[in-house]
Chain A
């Protein structure tokens, strides 16, 4: 079952790649849509196959690949990866849908599906090397998607993206090898590694490269500068995938490799990480406040929102962990929605410059539907109740407050800034008299706006019924929090005994 989630898009990628361009204008698109639907159906089907009451790994598949290297083809899904896999299915479908008429459709759709396979693989992998493999495979299609279908500065942005992410991959690989090497297990399998925890010093040594690698991918300040460039140059559907899925590989890594495999070091680093989260949130938000390009603004907002996930993961309470996964889903949906809408503004007006756009709510010649959805999207992102962003962030704040009260309060200020920069954007772009710039273009078909409507609906539905999302997540994160707490208690116990011993000794 899980292999199909990787296999189907891969098959689609190859199939589409084999059909020549001259075979017809829309055949590639229709095929890709078909595969998108199948992928989405399969990932949604996962919800039926998955038992939400269990916190353990489910539907596991194992096959030896290169056992000498420790590379085993091991797949599995738990409450952390399940929502992300389902979201992969959804967002890939949306991205294909939103692509419309692209140049060179054969290569384009083939790459998109390859990307989908790689991302799904990374979320499903239960082996460090396998994860790394998928993590690297995902780079190439995305690089090409930016470099070929991007904006005027695409080569620069794509190259920057490639260098940064490749670097992040190498850092991760160093960490992974270290993990396997230092532990007695000599294995790359998550569960095996988890069962053989390392001493604190070694954990700390390994956490550094892994954390740096993930920090580039997420991205965390100051390793974030590739992201705004990549977003600005990427075409709309690629931005959707980038923000919705690829950033989540990083935050997923925080939970998987940081918290799960290196719990003691993680706990020690907690306060620093929470501080880093604060920096991320405030830095991203303040930067977003002065951006003039709508896409760049949304990109900086993404950076800020990643800070909340870091905070929640650092706090590692049962509630904050649910919140962190929930926020991944929430941010995935909301940022995908926002990028779709910004893309719609761009294709209809030819600009994303806040200084040129004005009055797009105009019902006759503006983009009233896009505008209304944009209001909804930015409100969701700014944490207005009734939408998924609010409850996810509330869960994080409420869960992190007992551990890091001050950091949590500082992060909350970020939601205020989010409201500020997004409101400034909406007011400038959609309110006021319609600017002449925007009047020349023709409008999109309703059909092309459907992905945004679907995402907006999901944002509201999950906001009103958050349990429909957390229900799948909670058992796993609860187990995770428990195991972390146990291990922390063990360390503390040792330390406590030591101090007692020393105290007794000195007396």
Chain B
């Protein structure tokens, strides 16, 4: 490299690299990560084991997301304002065998998909969320609602007493659909990565990141639309003309709501108002996938357990074998999966950061580098409190 990167933060202009509010030790630990990013690396260091874990877990995640996304879209399209959606996880296919299997809870835990949807809805942000407050949305949603309840006097009466009830439900359904469409893309990216790794067994972490980044960039302009099916007819609630697109209107709010903020877990945080454990501002929430403590996974009151459980049922054999050989074998599988999952999510975050950065991160142009750092600084600042720093050890190069 002709333009040598500074070894530490001290020779950088303070405004660029001083991450306010961090203790000096974390500053020191963050700086190599920044250097790695600028050298084309990822938030997660590259190593043999990390490659195995990340590619393996993205495979199972891809499969699970596939199921989640199908179901979210099904609910949004076909369970529109159903008051008793007892079979909403059946995707419209109700057979005795399936019902018995579901009774035995031998199924994908779609509840987790709804949990992520609720996080996006509740935290808001992005164009989709903004659109839900526009008069256009209200008018279109009301048309759909009218169509749906025209034979239902109970709901009509309810609509008079509680005028925003159905509207709020439609907002939620729109978010179902939005997240479903987002995950559709992500699932395809992860599954294609998994397929690619079969022919290219030595994919590195930066290559994984590049693969995801390509997928994101390719889908960036993909339109987000929503038109549920009511009495056999489609009602456009989010039309193409609303101009919502994949990256800014679903991906970024998703990262914010699910990776960063999410909800406090009842199993580890007290909701007692007088104890004040939960921040007053939603922006201060830091309970997301990149922050969560993996150790309590499997306990009561830890929703990500559901995702880990689902991925556990779709582990590729190589990864399962790897877990089996590590200490404790399969006893603490879900914790191990969670650790791998967080590693993978840091790769996804890297890809998102690279896609959103004003210039390629490897740029040698000082001006561009400066702009990049201005972009990266707030992100790294937030990530310093996440599990990122605990994942920097490199085993088994």
Contacts and interface: CB of A to CB of B under 8 A. Distances in A.
Q: Do A and B touch (CB < 8 Å)?
A: yes
Interface stretch (A99-107, A266-274, A362-370): A362-370
B298 A443 contact: no
A362 B332 CA distance: 10
A363 B338 CA distance: 14
B293 A443 contact: no
A365 B335 contact: yes
Contacts of B299: 361-363
Contact of A442 (B295, B327, B335): B327
Interface in A96-149: none
A433 interface: yes
B257 interface: no
B307 interface: no
A313 B335 CA distance: 53
Contact of A364 (B268, B293, B327, B331): B331
B297 interface: yes
Interface in A354-376: 361-365
Interface string A442-462: 110000000000000000000
B125 interface: no
A363 B335 CA distance: 10
A434 interface: yes
Contacts of B332: 364-365
Contacts of A364: 295, 297-298, 331-335
B311 to A, nearest CB: 14
Contacts of B268: 433
Nearest to B268: A433
A136 to B, nearest CB: 47
Contact of A443 (B296, B328, B334): B328
Interface string B246-270: 0000000000000000000000100
B293 A365 contact: no
Contacts of A439: 295
Contacts of B298: 362-364
Interface string A329-367: 000000000000000000000000000000001111100
A209 to B, nearest CB: 55
A361 B297 CA distance: 12
Nearest to A442: B328
B295 A365 contact: yes
B296 A434 contact: yes
A439 B332 CA distance: 10
A362 B295 contact: yes
A273 B301 CA distance: 51
Interface residues of A, number: 10
A362 B296 CA distance: 7
A433 B328 contact: no
A443 B328 CA distance: 7
A433 B331 contact: no
Nearest to B300: A363
Contacts of B293: 433
Nearest to A436: B295
Nearest to A440: B327
Contacts of B335: 364-365
Nearest to B308: A364
B328 A434 contact: no
A434 B332 CA distance: 13
Contacts of B331: 364-365, 443
Interface string B142-182: 00000000000000000000000000000000000000000
A92 B72 CA distance: 59
Contacts of B297: 364
A231 to B, nearest CB: 30
A454 B286 CA distance: 45
A396 to B, nearest CB: 38
Interface string B282-313: 00000000000101111100000000000000
Nearest to B332: A364
B295 A433 contact: yes
Contacts of B328: 365, 442-443
Interface string A16-32: 00000000000000000
Contacts of A442: 327-328
B185 to A, nearest CB: 32
| Best-buried of A363, A364, A365, A443 by chain B (most CB within 10 Å) | A364
B293 to A, nearest CB: 7
A434 B331 CA distance: 15
A364 B294 CA distance: 11
Interface string B323-342: 00001100111110000000
B296 A433 contact: yes
Residue in B293, B295, B328, B332 whose Cβ sees the most chain A Cβ within 10 Å: B295
A364 B329 CA distance: 11
Contacts of B296: 362, 433-434
A37 B334 CA distance: 40
Contacts of A433: 268, 293, 295-296
Contacts of B334: 364
A427 to B, nearest CB: 16
B327 A434 contact: no
Contacts of A365: 295, 328, 331-332, 335
B62 to A, nearest CB: 24
B307 to A, nearest CB: 15
A456 B171 CA distance: 53
Nearest to B327: A442
Given A365-B331, A433-B268, A434-B296, 8 more contacts: A361-B299, A362-B296, A364-B295, A364-B298, A364-B332, A364-B334, A439-B295, A443-B328
Interface of B: 268, 293, 295-299, 327-328, 331-335
5 contacts: A364-B297, A365-B328, A365-B331, A365-B332, A434-B296
Interface of A: 361-365, 433-434, 439, 442-443
A-B interface, 4 closest residue pairs, ranked by CB to CB distance from nearest: A364-B332, A364-B298, A363-B298, A364-B335
